[in-house]
């Protein structure tokens, strides 16, 4: 009759040992899981969720800004007040019917950069201009079909104020003699993210990597590069809440909200 | 590019100061030809099914109803009545439209700037409360995915989103035309003109039976007709503008004109069912 | 630690809990939730139309002869929508339901994309694609083969009409080929032309200055159901409603409460087919009350005495009421008579009265007797050639200044045409397409080749079964249709036409328009498919045939032929798209109206069927939402058709509630509508808009072929009736047929 008793006792002691082990194991497992899920959520997900695409041509905004007069010289408004977005071949062809730049020689200053630029122009002229084919640009700020965005309203309205550094909640910029440079408004929403840094498009010598969400197909610029969704600049992201935030901030009285049929169609 | 001062009376947040877009439909001119219905379909990317004879599931933002005086041959009379969304403002135009009040998703709201009741397709999840609430049956549910066989999707307009299965849609007073017209007005730095924002049905109506504009703007024809301030023109000829189911206090923005007494009565239950003596004063929004 | 089930569960639960806690602080679940909800908002199969630059281009709509100026809204190169052009002389900003939906004809499933050759049996719908070179060489080869037999008359052509350059190219081809068998289907407007020649001795079309008339008597003309140039008539109607100096009055004399009758100030219901008799009774009132325009009648008419004698002896209102009043009730008859008299008096005493005829939307012919009677009313009140609010004669276009046709012996030799009617004065027998099936079925000769140029006879001709039988006798049918329509289903080869948006087409003065207007449609988009303008196809066929036929077509394309044909108008048309003769004054010098009313003249055309066997009368119901001509409804138009006209795939007929009760039908009952010609399964709609004893049959339904939106819906009215020839012209003037409902 002792057999079973002994076994029972041993079992209890063993159980105590074992429960500590199990507790430790459980803690460990929980810890690992917390770590893994945080790791996956914060670091792996952003990498997996978005594509990495290069533009067909690495357009150099900075060079072009030297010879034109502001963003709307190329990103034009049509006569009916609508915004044409990316320029079409017809606008480029005046200068780029033939290759403009000179092929750099090895040993030249910035040889590699200049060679890349030269090759890009050759590609542009040969594959697009001469074929009469529009460049399939990847649009960073492409909004979904349900959105109606009026560039005309934002570019002409007196209600629109440029805020310091494009920072959320920052005070409005006082321009000298009230003369507001055109790109100040553009830069409120459009910035080029190059190597983690926000650069005004007009100063960018290269085009940012284009990243598209695999699930939504929206470009990363809509949600923003911070996977948490928290942003401190207006240009960081362009979801509906971001638009609403700016519309709210731009009101003197901080009262009321716009109707859906302002930005939706 | 010009600088814009906003546009006059539309500036500001107060409910009373905004525009109030509305319509007057002359039923004596309307011939029931259906041009408004198809103009609307073509303008707003409305799809078509092979069988559209079940009128409960056919999507027609603008629908032309046929009224009858109920008398026997040869005393019978009929009258066509085009019915867009009424863009109800609710009591005192406070925005308590029947549909807006019941939407759990804020997929439809009332704009104090234009008086237009919106419908945001991506926000709607298809509960159809609004359809039950709308006394004018102006809302439609997409039971199926839209289909544009052959190359018919080639003619779709980019100004209006194509709706998916499972959501509600309705007349928007061609709000995208307002957006386009405003784009131009902003760009040219001026106010919106009456003729610049007209709905597709108004534009198409071969009988010129529809007048559209800002009910709050004294210069607009709709304001003149509704408030009997038209000069020289015998537009009304003693006809009083009336609205459908006025006694419900939905405060619709679509007015009708008819010289025929039975038509006026058919459009308004309070006129039909109660005698003038015990009729409660209703609304009084004129 | 032992790895048993319990511990395993414990540890993994802890792990899961940790994962859950971790994920609360990780964006993963929140972000994926947001992303997946966005994903559900943008199904990839819901189309997203491409944006671009908006532009507008103007042209002239040629889907009906209405001649409206329209503009196409384009996004980049893509046509999005058609709209009316403000200031257009015919339509001033308005547009009709068909024009609005023209893009569904352009892009729709019924469009023919390339030349096709029949592969299966006729009507089976099996086709193989061929190239244009193959198509032109096959058709021209076939035509040459027939011509070599010395029987050029074995080629027939049914065109969409007799006017305009494109139709003239086809009639020219027929003439150069040597065949007299060129036809089109007459409408009410052909009848008016014939009548104008008979009563006024002029060659021209009837124009009505509706917008300026102040008292309009309409004898069954569906003014608001598609009659004339529809948008223009709608606008005239609206002007009547807002006339400052008092209302213009429209009185509709109609067998049913048509849309026009419903909009009229007064609807005078009549027994169908008695329009002419009622007009004569009104003439009786006007003459007997001495209210007629003596000046006009004395100086500008002939035959008044005879006319008066006939009217007096045969058309006293008390006599006419017996045949024309639709309600057999003493009290109502009295009221009806009073109404007829008072309206006749009001008409005669109005400042600018005008009487019009036209059978529904005007694409069905009217008998000469009826037109004589209605035109007599216009003569009695001096409305003929009255410039303001009157009926004017718009002269025919001068003959196109083309070089004469080069004729060889075959073309020159006499060939009898398949149909002939005695006493026809205008256009020979060419507008008698309605007689063609009968001629083909009874003749042993028939046609070897038939060209279908803008026509759809299997649908538009009365008695579909007989028409199909006749078509089966034709060896080789060439269709130029841009759509897979009813008759194209019987074709052997299709040479698909452009839609007007893709080609150059001229638009002569629209029917009923009171001024000469010429419109031009010009390409506003690039051809979407491998189609070719019908005019260019026939020129290419002529060239491929060589010899005198090729010599008769010296132009590079139809636009060049048009330029030559229109002479001085061409540059104006190229500049503005439309030409209006603003200074037009109708010819009055020496023009006298001849009253026709021979004693014993039967102004009622009798229809087929015996009353004992078929107690009811089927009459057509026209409505502008249903296109009744060669071009069928578009998908959007079908969508607007009432469920009281079409329910699923069944035709709904209108029957008075009393009649329905009499035959035991309720609203929506299934029934069989039988006429001496055919039977059809229908549903019954009880209506007070139609007299007892009538069955209102909507026209414009029951297409075969086409697509799932348009084809196979309801029954074609024309399958149920058979043609009845007007003894004066030979046109099919059947206004109905006897019928029974079981």
Q: What is the pLDDT of residue A15?
A: 61
CA distance C640 to A142: 37
Q: Are residues C166 and C254 in the same domain?
A: no
- Residue B8 confidence (pLDDT): 39
A14 — pLDDT class (breaks 50, 70, 90): low
- Asked if B118 is an interface residue toward chain A (Cβ–Cβ < 8 A), one would say yes
pLDDT for res B285: 36
Residue B231: pLDDT band with limits 50, 70, 90: low
Q: Give the domain-ending residue among C354, C370, C395.
A: C395
* Averaged pLDDT, C329-340: 96
Query: What is the SS3 assignment for B83?
Result: strand
The string of pLDDT tens digits covering residues B120-138 is 999 999 999 999 999 999 9
Q: Tell me, yes or no, if B157 comes closer than 8 A to chain C by beta carbon.
A: yes
Residues of B whose CB is below 8 A from A257: none
Q: Is residue A194 part of a domain?
A: yes
Whether residue C250 sits in one domain with residue C202: yes
With contact defined as beta carbons under 8 Å apart, do C79 and C96 qualify?
no
The reply to whether A191 and A263 lie within a common domain is: yes
Q: What's the rounded Cα separation, in Å, for the pair B55 and B130?
A: 19
Query: What part of B 12-51 touches A (C-beta under 8 Å)?
Result: 13
Q: Which of C51, C49, C111, C98 is nearest to C70 (CA)?
A: C98
Strand-by-strand arrangement of the C69-75 sheet: C54-60, C69-75, C78-84
C contact test, residue of B45, B47, B53 with most C CBs within 10 A: B53
Sign of CA dihedral B174, C67, C165, C448: positive
SS3 of chain A: helix, strand, coil, percent, to 5: 50, 10, 45
Cβ pair A29:C15 closer than 8 A: yes
> A98 in a domain, yes or no?
no
Residue C578: inside a domain = no
Lowest mean pLDDT among A112-116, B8-12, B229-233: B8-12
Does the CA dihedral B31-B37-B38-B44 come out positive or negative? positive
> Any CB–CB contact under 8 A between B181 and chain C?
no
Same domain (yes/no): A150, A261: yes
Q: What is the mean pLDDT of residues C308-319?
A: 93
B204 has a chain C CB within 8 A of its CB: yes
Grade residue C588 by pLDDT with cuts at 50, 70 and 90.
Answer: confident
Query: Which chain C residues are closer than 8 Å to B42 by Cβ?
Result: 81-82, 100-101, 103, 636
Number of helices (H), then strands (E), belonging to chain C: the values are 26, 28
Q: Say if the Cβ atoms of B157 and C230 lie within 8 Å.
A: no
E strand or H helix that includes residue C619:
strand C616-621
pTM for this prediction: 0.93
A38 and C CB contact within 8 Å = yes
Could you count the other beta carbons within 10 Å of the beta carbon of residue A70?
13
Q: What CATH code is carried by the domain that includes residue C685?
A: 2.40.40.20
Co-location of C165 and C228 in the same domain: no
C233, C264: one domain: yes
pLDDT attached to residue C573: 95
Q: Cα–Cα distance between C268 and C326 in angstroms, integer?
A: 10
Nearest Cα of chain C lies from the Cα of B33 at a distance, in angstroms, of 6
Residues C223, C160 share a domain: no
Measured over all CA atoms, what is the biggest interatomic distance in chain B, rounded to whole angstroms? 64
A30 and A156 inside one domain: no
Neighbours of A67 (CB within 10 A): 8
Same-domain pairing of C206 and C252: yes
DSSP letter at A124?
I
Contacts of A216 in chain C (CB under 8 A): 35, 38-39, 42
Domain span at A262: 76-84+138-265
Tallying the residues shown for chain C, one arrives at 742
**Per-position b or e across C577-600, b if 16+ CB within 10 A of its CB:** bbbbeeeeebeeeeeebbbbbeee
Look at residue C597 and tell me if it is in a domain. no
The answer to whether residues C64 and C25 belong to one domain is no
Interval C242-256 mean pLDDT: 85
* pLDDT more than 70, % of chain C: 98
Contact B183 A253 (CB under 8 A): no
Cβ–Cβ gap C27/A38 under 8 Å: no
Instruction: Say if residue B286's pLDDT is above 50.
Output: no
Map tokens 């090729």 to a residue: C550
Which residues are registered as beta bridge partners of C206?
Answer: C393
Residues of C in contact with B72 (CB under 8 A): 657, 688
Q: Are B114 and A259 in contact (CB under 8 A)?
A: yes
In angstroms, what CA-CA distances link A82 with A154, B194, C274?
Answer: 12, 20, 60
Q: Are strands C116-118 and C493-494 parallel, antiparallel or unpaired?
A: antiparallel
Residues A31 and A80 in one domain: no
Specify whether C225 is located in the same domain as C147. no
Asked if A82's CB is within 8 angstroms of B183's CB, the reply is yes
What is the pLDDT confidence band of residue A110, given thresholds at 50, 70 and 90?
confident
**What DSSP string describes B114-140?**
T-PBP--TTT-----HHHHH-TT--EE
A244 contact C CB<8A? no
Cα distance between residue C430 and residue C183, in whole Å? 4
The residue of C242, C324, C327 whose CB has the most chain B CBs within 10 angstroms, and thus the best one to mutate to test that interface, is: C242
| pLDDT given at position C10 | 86
The whole-number pLDDT of residue C245 equals: 62
CB contact under 8 A, A37 and C23: yes
Which of the four pLDDT bands, split at 50, 70 and 90, describes residue C21?
A: confident
C441-499 confidence digits (pLDDT tens): 998 778 999 999 999 999 999 999 999 999 999 999 999 999 999 999 999 999 999 99
Of the three residues C340, C369, C395, the one that is the final residue of a domain is: C395
Q: Write down the pLDDT at residue B274.
A: 44
Q: At what angle do helices C534-545 and C164-177 cross, to 10 degrees?
A: 20
Picking from A8-22, C133-147, C273-287, which range would have the lowest pLDDT averaged per residue? A8-22
List chain B domain ranges. Answer: 8-46+56-278
Residue A212 domain-assigned?
A: yes
pLDDT score at C5: 86
* Domain membership flag for residue C525: no
Range of the domain at C538: 131-185+399-497+532-567
Model pLDDT, residue A181: 87
Q: Does residue A223 lie within any of the structural domains?
A: yes
On whether residue C602 sits in a domain, the answer given is: no
SS3 C703: strand
Region A19-40: what's the mean pLDDT? 87
Query: Do C203 and C330 belong together in one domain?
Result: yes
End-to-end CA distance of chain C: 90
pLDDT for residue C594 is more than 60: yes
Contact of B231 with chain C, judged by CB distance below 8 Å, is answered with no
A91 domain-assigned = no
User: Residue B10: pLDDT band by 50, 70, 90 thresholds?
Assistant: very low
Residue C685 has pLDDT above 50, yes or no: yes
Mean pLDDT of C11-23: 87
Average pLDDT of every residue of chain C: 94
Identify the CA nearest to C500 among candidates C56, C98, C61, C57: C61
Which pLDDT score is estimated for B4?
A: 40
Instruction: Tell me: pLDDT of A10 over 60.
Output: no
Is residue A220 one of the residues assigned to a domain? yes
Q: What residue of A is the nearest CA neighbor of C10?
A: A26
What Cα–Cα distance (Å) separates residue B162 from each residue in B58, B61, B142, C41, C632?
16, 14, 11, 11, 27
pLDDT at B236: 75
- Helix spans in B109-251 (H): 129-133, 175-188, 200-204, 221-226
Count of all residues that appear for chain B in the document: 286
> What token pair was written down for C176?
């150069």
**B–C CB contacts, 8 A cutoff, strictly below:** 205
Confidence band of C519 (pLDDT split at 50, 70, 90): very high
Nearest by CB to residue A33, choosing from C7, C19, C54, is C19
- Percent above pLDDT 90 for chain C: 87
Q: Which residue of A has its CA nearest to C1?
A: A18
**pLDDT: is C445 or A127 the higher one?**
A127
Mean pLDDT of B263-281: 59
Which CATH number describes the domain made up of B8-46+56-278? Answer: 3.30.70.20
CATH number reported for the structural domain that contains residue C384 in this entry: 3.40.228.10
Structure tokens belonging to residue B266: 């058919």
Taking alpha carbons only, the member of B256, C557, B175, C36 closest to residue A215 is: C36
pLDDT at B272: 53
Q: Tell me how close the Cα of A81 comes to any Cα of chain B, in angstroms.
A: 4
Q: For residue C57, what are the contacts with CB-CB under 8 A and spacing of at least 6?
A: C71, C72, C74, C524
Q: Residue B107 corresponds to which tokens in the numbers above? A: 């997929």
The two structure tokens encoding residue C667: 């609203």
Same domain flag for C390 and C262: yes
How far A80 CA lies from chain B's nearest CA (Å)?
A: 5
Cis (ω within 30 of 0) for the bond into B74? yes
- The sheet carrying C517-521 orders its strands as C505-507, C517-521, C578-580
Distance CA A69, CA B229 (A): 51
With an 8 Å Cβ cutoff, is B210 touching chain C? no
Residue-level pLDDT at C402: 97
Co-location of A160 and A44 in the same domain: no
For residues C636 and C626, is the Cβ–Cβ distance under 8 A? no
Domain annotation covers residue A253: yes
pLDDT digits 0-9 by tens, C496-505? 999 999 999 9
Whether A213 sits inside 8 A of C2 (CB atoms) is no
Rounded to whole angstroms, the Cα distance separating C283 from C5 reads: 108
Q: Which of B25, B26, B34, B82 to mutate to test the interface with C (most CBs of C within 10 A)?
A: B34
Q: Indicate the range of A97-111, C469-483, C506-520 predicted with least confidence.
A: A97-111
Residues C137 and C247 in one domain: no
Residues of A in contact with B183 (CB under 8 A): 80-82, 150, 152-153
Confidence (pLDDT) at B235: 64
Please report, for the domain that includes residue C59, its CATH number. 2.20.25.90
Q: Which residue has better confidence, C641 or A255?
A: C641
The answer to whether residue C1 scores a pLDDT higher than 90 is: no
* Residue contact A259–B186, C-beta within 8 A: no
Question: Could you tell me the CA-to-CA distances from C49 to A120, B40, C43, C445, C612 in Å, in that order?
Answer: 31, 17, 14, 55, 61
**C-alpha dist (Å) from residue C681 to A191, C466, C623, C648:** 68, 20, 21, 12
Q: Give the model's pLDDT for residue C372.
A: 94
Q: What are residue C483's DSSP bridge partners?
A: C111
Please write the tens of the pLDDT for every residue from C25-50. 888 888 999 999 999 999 999 999 99
Burial C125-142 (b: 16+ CB within 10 A, else e): eebeebebeebbebbbeb
Number of domains in chain C: 5
Specify burial of residue C487 (Cβ count, 10 A radius: 0-12, 13-18, 19+): buried
CA C195/CA C188 separation, integer angstroms: 10
| pLDDT tens digits along B135-175 | 999 999 999 999 999 999 999 999 999 999 999 999 999 99
Which of C630, C628, C619 shows the shortest CA–CA distance to C735? Answer: C619
Of C2, C10, C36, the CB nearest to A26: C10
Question: Can you tell me the mean pLDDT for C567-596?
Answer: 92
- What is residue A2's predicted lDDT score, i.e. its pLDDT? 45
Nearest-by-CA chain A residue for C46: A145
> Is the pLDDT score of A116 beyond 80?
yes
Quick one: pLDDT at residue C598? 63
């Amino acid at each position: 009759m002792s057999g079973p008793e002994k076994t029972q006792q041993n079992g209890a002691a063993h159980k105590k040992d074992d429960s500590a082990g199990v507790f430790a194991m459980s803690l460990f497992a929980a810890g690992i899981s917390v770590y893994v899920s945080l790791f996956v959520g914060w670091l792996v997900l952003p990498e997996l969720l978005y594509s990495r695409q290069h533009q067909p041509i690495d357009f150099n905004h900075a060079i072009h800004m030297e010879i034109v007069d502001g963003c709307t010289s190329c990103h034009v408004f049509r006569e009916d007040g609508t915004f044409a977005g990316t320029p079409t071949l017809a606008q480029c062809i005046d200068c780029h019917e033939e290759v403009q730049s000179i092929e750099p020689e090895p040993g030249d200053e910035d040889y590699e950069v200049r060679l890349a630029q030269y090759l890009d122009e050759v590609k542009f002229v040969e594959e697009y201009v001469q074929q009469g084919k529009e460049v399939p640009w990847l649009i960073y700020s492409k909004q979904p079909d349900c959105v109606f965005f009026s560039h005309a309203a934002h570019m002409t309205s007196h209600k629109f104020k440029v805020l310091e550094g494009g920072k959320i909640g920052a005070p409005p910029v006082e321009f000298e003699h009230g003369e507001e440079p055109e790109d100040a408004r553009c830069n409120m929403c459009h910035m080029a993210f190059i190597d983690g840094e926000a650069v005004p498009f007009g100063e960018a010598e290269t085009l940012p990597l284009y990243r598209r969400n695999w699930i939504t197909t929206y470009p990363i610029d809509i949600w923003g590069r911070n996977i948490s969704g928290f942003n401190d600049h207006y240009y960081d992201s362009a979801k509906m809440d971001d638009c609403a935030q700016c519309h709210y901030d731009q009101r003197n009285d901080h009262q009321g909200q716009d109707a859906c049929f302002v930005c939706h169609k | 590019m010009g600088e814009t001062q906003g546009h006059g009376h539309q500036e500001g947040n107060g409910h009373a100061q905004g525009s109030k877009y509305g319509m007057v439909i002359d039923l004596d001119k309307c011939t029931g030809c259906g041009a408004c219905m198809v103009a609307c379909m073509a303008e707003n990317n409305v799809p078509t099914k092979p069988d559209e004879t079940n009128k409960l599931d056919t999507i027609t933002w603008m629908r032309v109803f046929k009224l009858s005086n109920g008398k026997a041959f040869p005393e019978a009379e009929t009258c066509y009545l085009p019915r867009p969304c009424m863009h109800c403002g609710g009591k005192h135009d406070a925005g308590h439209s029947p549909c807006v009040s019941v939407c759990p998703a804020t997929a439809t709201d009332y704009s104090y700037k234009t008086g237009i009741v919106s419908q945001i397709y991506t926000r709607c999840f298809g509960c159809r409360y609004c359809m039950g609430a709308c006394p004018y049956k102006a809302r439609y549910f997409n039971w199926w995915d839209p289909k544009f066989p052959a190359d018919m999707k080639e003619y779709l307009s980019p100004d209006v989103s194509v709706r998916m299965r499972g959501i509600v849609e309705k007349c928007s007073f061609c709000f995208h035309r307002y957006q386009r017209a405003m784009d131009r007005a902003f760009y040219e730095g001026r106010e919106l003109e009456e003729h610049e924002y007209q709905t597709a049905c108004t534009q198409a109506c071969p009988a010129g039976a529809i007048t559209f504009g800002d009910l709050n703007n004294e210069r607009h024809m709709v304001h003149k007709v509704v408030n009997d301030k038209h000069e020289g023109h015998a537009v009304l000829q003693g006809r009083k503008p009336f609205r459908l189911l006025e006694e419900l206090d939905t405060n619709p923005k679509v007015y009708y004109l008819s010289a025929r007494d039975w038509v006026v009565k058919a459009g308004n239950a309070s006129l039909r069912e109660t005698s003038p003596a015990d009729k409660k004063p209703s609304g009084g929004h004129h | 630690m032992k790895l048993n089930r319990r511990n395993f569960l414990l540890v993994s639960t802890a792990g899961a809990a940790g994962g859950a806690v971790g994920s609360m602080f990780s964006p993963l679940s929140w972000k994926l939730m947001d992303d997946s909800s966005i994903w559900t908002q943008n199904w990839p199969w819901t189309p997203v139309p491409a944006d671009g630059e908006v532009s507008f281009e103007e042209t002239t709509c040629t889907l009906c002869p209405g001649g409206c100026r329209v503009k196409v809204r384009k996004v980049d190169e893509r046509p999005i929508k058609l709209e009316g052009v403000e200031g257009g002389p015919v339509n001033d900003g308005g547009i009709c339901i068909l024009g609005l939906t023209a893009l569904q004809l352009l892009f729709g499933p019924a469009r023919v994309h390339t030349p096709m050759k029949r592969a299966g049996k006729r009507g089976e719908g099996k086709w193989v694609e061929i190239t244009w070179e193959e198509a032109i060489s096959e058709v021209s080869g076939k035509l040459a083969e027939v011509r070599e037999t010395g029987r050029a008359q074995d080629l027939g052509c049914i065109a969409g009409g007799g006017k305009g350059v494109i139709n003239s190219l086809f009639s020219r081809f027929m003439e150069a080929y040597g065949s007299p068998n060129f036809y089109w289907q007459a409408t009410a407007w052909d009848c008016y032309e014939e009548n104008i020649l008979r009563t006024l001795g002029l060659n021209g079309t009837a124009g009505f200055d509706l917008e300026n008339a102040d008292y309009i008597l309409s004898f069954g003309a569906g003014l608001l159901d598609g009659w004339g140039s529809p948008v223009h008539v709608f606008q005239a109607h609206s002007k009547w409603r807002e006339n400052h100096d008092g209302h213009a009055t429209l009185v509709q004399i109609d067998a049913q409460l048509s849309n026009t009758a419903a909009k009229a100030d007064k609807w005078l219901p009549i027994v169908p087919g008695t329009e002419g008799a009622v007009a004569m009774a009104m003439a009786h009132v006007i003459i007997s009350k001495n209210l007629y325009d003596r000046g006009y009648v004395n100086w500008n008419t002939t035959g008044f005495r005879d006319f008066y004698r006939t009217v007096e002896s045969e058309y006293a209102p008390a006599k006419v009421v017996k045949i024309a009043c639709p309600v057999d009730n003493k009290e109502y008859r009295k009221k009806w008579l009073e109404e007829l008299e008072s309206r006749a008096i009001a008409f005669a005493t109005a400042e600018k009265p005008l009487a019009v005829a036209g059978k529904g939307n005007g694409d069905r012919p009217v008998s000469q007797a009826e037109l004589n009677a209605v035109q007599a009313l216009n003569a009695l009140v001096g409305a003929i050639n009255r410039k303001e609010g009157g009926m004017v004669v718009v002269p025919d276009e001068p003959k196109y200044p083309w070089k004469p046709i080069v004729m060889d012996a075959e073309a020159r030799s006499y060939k009898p045409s398949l149909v002939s009617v005695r006493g026809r004065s205008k256009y020979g027998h060419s507008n008698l397409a309605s007689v063609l099936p009968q001629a083909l079925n009874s003749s042993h000769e028939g046609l070897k080749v038939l060209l279908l140029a803008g026509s759809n006879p299997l649908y538009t001709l009365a008695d579909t079964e007989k028409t199909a039988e006749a078509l089966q006798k034709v060896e080789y049918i060439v269709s130029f249709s841009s759509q897979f329509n009813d008759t194209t289903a019987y074709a052997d080869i299709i040479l698909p036409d452009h839609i007007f948006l893709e080609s150059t087409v001229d638009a002569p003065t629209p029917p009923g328009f009171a001024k000469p207007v010429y419109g031009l449609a010009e390409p506003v988009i690039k051809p979407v498919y491998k189609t070719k303008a019908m005019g260019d196809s026939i020129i290419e066929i002529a060239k491929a045939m060589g010899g005198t036929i090729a010599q008769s077509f010296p132009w590079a394309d139809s636009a060049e032929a048009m330029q030559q044909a229109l002479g001085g108008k061409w540059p104006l048309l190229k500049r503005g798209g439309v030409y209006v003769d603003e200074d037009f004054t109708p010819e009055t010098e020496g023009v006298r109206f001849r009253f026709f009313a021979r004693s014993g003249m039967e102004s009622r055309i009798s229809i087929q069927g015996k009353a004992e066997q078929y107690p009811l009368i089927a009459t057509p119901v026209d409505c502008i939402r249903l296109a009744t001509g060669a071009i069928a409804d578009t998908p959007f138009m079908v969508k607007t058709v009432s469920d009281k006209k079409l329910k699923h795939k069944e035709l709904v007929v209108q029957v008075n509630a009393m009649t329905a009760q009499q035959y035991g039908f309720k609203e929506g009952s299934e029934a069989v509508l039988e006429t001496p010609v055919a039977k059809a399964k229908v549903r019954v709609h009880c209506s007070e808009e139609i007299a007892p004893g009538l069955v209102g049959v909507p026209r414009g339904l029951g297409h075969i072929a086409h697509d799932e939106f348009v084809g196979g819906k309801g029954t074609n009215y024309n399958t149920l009736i058979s043609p009845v020839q007007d003894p004066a012209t030979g046109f099919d003037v059947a206004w109905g047929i006897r019928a029974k409902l079981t």
